[in-house]
Amino acid sequence: MKHLLQQSAAFTIWANQQLFDCIGKLTEEQINKEINSSFPSVRQTIIHMWDAECAWWQRLKLVEKIEMPSQGFTGDFQELIAKVNQQSATWKEWVDNATEAQLRHVFFYRNTKREEFKQTVYEMLQHLMNHGTYHRGQLVTMLRQLGVDKIPQTDFVVFCRKK
């Protein structure tokens, strides 16, 4: 199990970087352009991905009042990407150092609606990695709507072939 989670954490970093490099070639206007999706722009989608990774980190650390790091964030795209990358690296380091007992540990948390849940750490990690994949798929669709025709492949199998 740990190996799969380590691989997923590494994949998340790699796949994000593939798309962030592509998105980094866009203008600020394109990054902020309103597009019909779960979140209204490329930037807002990436902000949501960052908030989710940070919220789950805080939940794992049993922080009582979860703070979304994007609230009050006024940085540019490069600063945003640095923050996302930093949080993803923190997750990878944690998974790399986790014991089997830590991965199987059941922890208590509240979601954003204040509903209470108990979850194993490994299930939460699997959810977190899946969540990133879901939103990267949305980013690909948004890039196509912005007229980008050279979008990197971010499939897991492509990541595996590059190792």
Q: What is the pLDDT of residue 162?
A: 86
Q: What are 62-90's pLDDT values in tens digits?
A: 998 999 999 989 999 999 999 999 999 99
Q: How confident is the model at residue 139 (pLDDT cuts 50, 70, 90)?
A: very high
What is the third-level CATH fold of 2-162? Four Helix Bundle (Hemerythrin (Met), subunit A) (1.20.120)
Average pLDDT over every residue of 104-109: 95
pLDDT over 70 percentage in the chain: 100
Average pLDDT over every residue of 138-160: 95
What amino acid is encoded at 148 in this protein? V
Domain ranges of the chain: 2-162
Whether the pLDDT of residue 113 is over 80: the answer is yes
d(CA 85, CA 54) in angstroms, rounded, equals 11
Q: What is the pLDDT of residue 112?
A: 86
pLDDT over 90 percentage in the chain: 93
d(CA 126, CA 9) in angstroms, rounded, equals 9
- Written in H, E and C, the secondary structure of 99-142 is CHHHHHCEEEEECCCCCEEEEEHHHHHHHHHHHHHHHHHHHHHH
Model's pTM, two decimal places?
Answer: 0.93
Whether the pLDDT of residue 53 is over 80: the answer is yes
